[in-house]
Each structure stands twice: as C-alpha cells, then as structure tokens.
Amino acid sequence: MKTSSVNSTIESKTGCIASAMQIIGNKWTALILRDLFAGPKRFCELEKTVGNINPRTLSQRLDDLEAHGVITKASFAEVPPRTEYTLTEKGEDLRPILKQMASWGTKYSSNY
C-alpha cells in the first residue's frame, strides 16, 4: 500500500498534520490555548490556570504561538506594566480541534 493513499484519507496534502504539530504539538501548548479560549489572559493568570508549567517554558510557548500568528501580545504602559495574550483568528480556528481532543479525552480518560 502506498503511503500517499493512506495519508489522503486524513490529509489532503502530505505534511499538513506535521505542519499543525509544529505549532500545537509541544507540551503545554494545548492547555495554554484552552485557557485563552476563555478570553485574554495575563502571564500570571496563565501560570495559575495551565498548571505546573515552568515560567520559562510558558514564556517560550507564548513566544512560539505569537511567532506563528496564533496569539497576539499586547503591552500596556501602566504601573505596574501589564501584558495580555489574546487568540487571533488563526488561533480561534483551533477551537474545534481542541474540543475534539477534549471529547476524545473524556471518552478514554478512565483508561489511564
């Protein structure tokens, strides 16, 4: 069986899933996105809601998501300075994917 015939049942062009995984495949990224679906969040809010994430890792994941156009970072000239992270349209397009992941997790979570 050819690889391309197997891939075409899921992805229209070989490499699409790999491309998506480069953006959302890192540990913690899906949880960061989950929390941003509720609305804009500050760094400290994400630290609390995501879980036991190292601040350096959180910063790196947010930078990666921003570089890929999935989130925007807005800084406000206040005292103390405030920075908020918000999903872009591209980020919002990930909502059905994460909902499906949550559904799958719900269905099989008792097996872990």
List, for residues 40-65, the tens digit of each pLDDT value. 999 999 999 999 999 999 999 999 99
What string of DSSP letters covers 44-81? HHHHHHH-S--HHHHHHHHHHHHHTTSEEEEEE--SS-
CATH assignment at residue 45 = 1.10.10.10
> Is residue 9, in this structure, part of any structural domain at all?
no
Residue 74 lies in a domain: yes
The number of domains in the chain is 1
Within-domain flag for 7: no
> Would 101 be classed as within a structural domain?
yes
pTM of the model: 0.85
Judge whether residue 68 has pLDDT over 70.
yes
pLDDT at 2: 46
